[in-house]
Amino acid sequence: MTCPLPQARIYHAVSTGYAGLIGARAAIETGRKTLITEHGIYSNERRIEILMADWISNSIDNGLDLSDDRKDIRELWARGFESFARVAYNSATEIVALYEANQTFQLALGAGPEKLSVIPNGVDSERFGRIKPISHDRPTIAFIGRVTPIKDVQTFIDVAERLRRRFPDLQALVIGPMDEDPEYAQSCITEVNRRQLADTVSFTGPVNVVDYLGRIDVLVLTSISEALPLVILEAGAAGVPCIATDVGACREILEGPANDGESIGPGGMVAPVGANDEIALAIGLLLADQQRLHAYGDNLQRRVRKHYRAEAVADAYGALYGRNFAPQPQMVS
């Protein structure tokens, strides 16, 4: 917070956390424009992680005493991140969300409605569209992402165990880095071994997903919280259908924007967070019906090409910078 600010015509924070505070300082000190682009609602994501963290000790036991209004350290910390968001939103010139529903949270934390706009994620649909299915003998599902609690890989493991009863030769891939939360990653490995799933569930570590998408039948996203998951767009661009928890924009991507009137069918299905039976049932419906599997993959590919092309997103960001590059007051040395 006290480091020398680099000279810039625009300051751009990609979250409302500590980055947002630096952006607010830059706006105040320089008088120049500050942008915020949030992939998720940062304060909400931090609250979830704080509530789930087993390394934070509860300092107050309220029990059933509803008259005790003292707050635990978890609540204090979560409210701190909400305060950061209020400061950042107040100082920002424009605030960009990945999808419209997230603007409700931004407004609740003081963002001015005149500052809000939406720019979704985008993917190189041509590059991923060139991925061809690779012949494989085993029905294959995959989780792609960071192996962290908020992604709920433990649910993916549980779902794989349920599916193996129906598809004995199931292959379930966990694709992504395991070094962000090593203790959680190790707990996932331990759980796979405890359930005797080592011949079903494999951890690949960080890889180039392009090398794997052709051999995946169904992408599975079990996250507790998401914004607009890039991994669904990448899989969709390659024609791979998805089963996801009903968080963030997952439903919008898989079923289409509300009131859009498009005729593209579903590209997958959503289920409530932690509804392992429903998630397993949805995956099983696709694995057992190749015609539906391919139809959903085709639908998702068409929707990604229509709404989430990287070129359109680049144009939107170009316009965002363009309207904020107007002459600004000189920076005070």
49 with 72, same domain: the answer is yes
272 with 146, same domain: the answer is yes
Domain that holds residue 111: 10-122+312-322
113 with 197, same domain: the answer is no
162 with 33, same domain: the answer is no
- Report the run of H or E that residue 13 belongs to, with start and end: strand 10-13
The pLDDT assigned to 333 comes to 53
Query: Does some domain include residue 329?
Result: no
Query: Does some domain include residue 255?
Result: yes
Cα–Cα dist 24/18, whole Å: 10
- Angle formed at CA 99 by CA 97 and CA 105, multiple of 5 degrees: 60
192 with 262, same domain: the answer is yes
183 with 220, same domain: the answer is yes
Cα–Cα dist 311/96, whole Å: 18
174 with 287, same domain: the answer is yes
Give the residues of the chain that fall short of pLDDT 70. 58-66, 68-71, 258-262, 326-333
The pLDDT assigned to 37 comes to 95
The pLDDT assigned to 48 comes to 84
Which pTM does this prediction carry? 0.83
Query: Does some domain include residue 327?
Result: no
The pLDDT assigned to 104 comes to 93
The pLDDT assigned to 212 comes to 96
61 with 169, same domain: the answer is no
140 with 95, same domain: the answer is no
Phi, psi of 135 (to 5 degrees): -60, 130
CATH number at residue 178: 3.40.50.2000
CA quadruple 187, 248, 243, 300: dihedral positive or negative? negative
Please state the length of the chain: 333
199 with 290, same domain: the answer is yes
Residue 256 gets the label, from left (phi > 0), alpha (psi -120 to 50) or beta, of left
261 with 191, same domain: the answer is yes
What is the number of domains present in the chain? 2
18 with 163, same domain: the answer is no
